[in-house]
């Protein structure tokens, strides 16, 4: 059975075994708000594939690059901000493309296109 990327299905013991780390490490990452697994009705931690990929990134930063957990927190927040900005840029590019293709622009926006690279400004005395 194939699960969705964000679907919480993995128990803490499975994640710990797959990543070759102690379950206490996962609990510490949760205490530090680096990862937030879902909880079942019985309060059992359930991790998604997205959570596992995030933990892999945390492990790479700490083990290979020597970053402490405070640094990991900063890096993860910056990465999230960059990801959000990149999504905003993609959305704006798509909106611009739609506007250019439809030859109309919504009343609350202005579309400016340049005919050439060079522009001349003349100042009079």
pLDDT digits (tens, 9 = 90+) for 32-84: 999 999 999 999 999 999 999 999 999 999 999 999 999 999 999 999 999 99
- Domain membership of residue 40 (yes or no) is yes
The values of phi and psi at residue 108, to 5°, are: -95, 10
Closest CA to 75 of 89, 54, 90: 54
C-alpha span between 98 and 102 (Å, rounded) = 6
- Domain membership of residue 98 (yes or no) is yes
- Domain membership of residue 121 (yes or no) is no
- Domain membership of residue 94 (yes or no) is yes
How distant, in Å, are the alpha carbons of 82, 84, 85, 92 from that of 22? 31, 32, 35, 44
* pLDDT of 122 strictly over 70: no
pTM above 0.75, yes or no: no
Total tally of structural domains belonging to the chain: 1
pLDDT at 125: 60
- Domain membership of residue 93 (yes or no) is yes
pLDDT at 6: 87
Which structural domain, as residue segments, surrounds residue 16?
Answer: 10-102
How distant, in Å, are the alpha carbons of 32, 57, 64, 71, 111 from that of 61? 15, 6, 6, 9, 43
- Domain membership of residue 4 (yes or no) is no
pLDDT at 93: 93
């Amino acid at each position: 059975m194939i699960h969705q990327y964000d679907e919480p299905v993995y128990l803490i013991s499975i994640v710990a075994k797959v990543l070759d780390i102690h379950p206490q490490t996962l609990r510490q990452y949760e205490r530090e708000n680096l990862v937030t697994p879902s909880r079942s009705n019985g309060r059992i931690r359930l991790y998604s594939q997205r959570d596992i990929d995030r933990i892999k990134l945390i492990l790479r930063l700490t083990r290979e690059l020597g970053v402490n957990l405070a640094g990991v927190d900063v890096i993860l927040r910056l990465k999230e901000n960059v990801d959000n900005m990149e999504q905003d840029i993609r959305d704006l590019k798509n909106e611009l493309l739609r506007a250019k293709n439809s030859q109309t622009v919504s009343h609350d926006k202005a579309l400016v296109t340049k005919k050439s690279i060079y522009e001349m400004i003349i100042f009079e005395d």
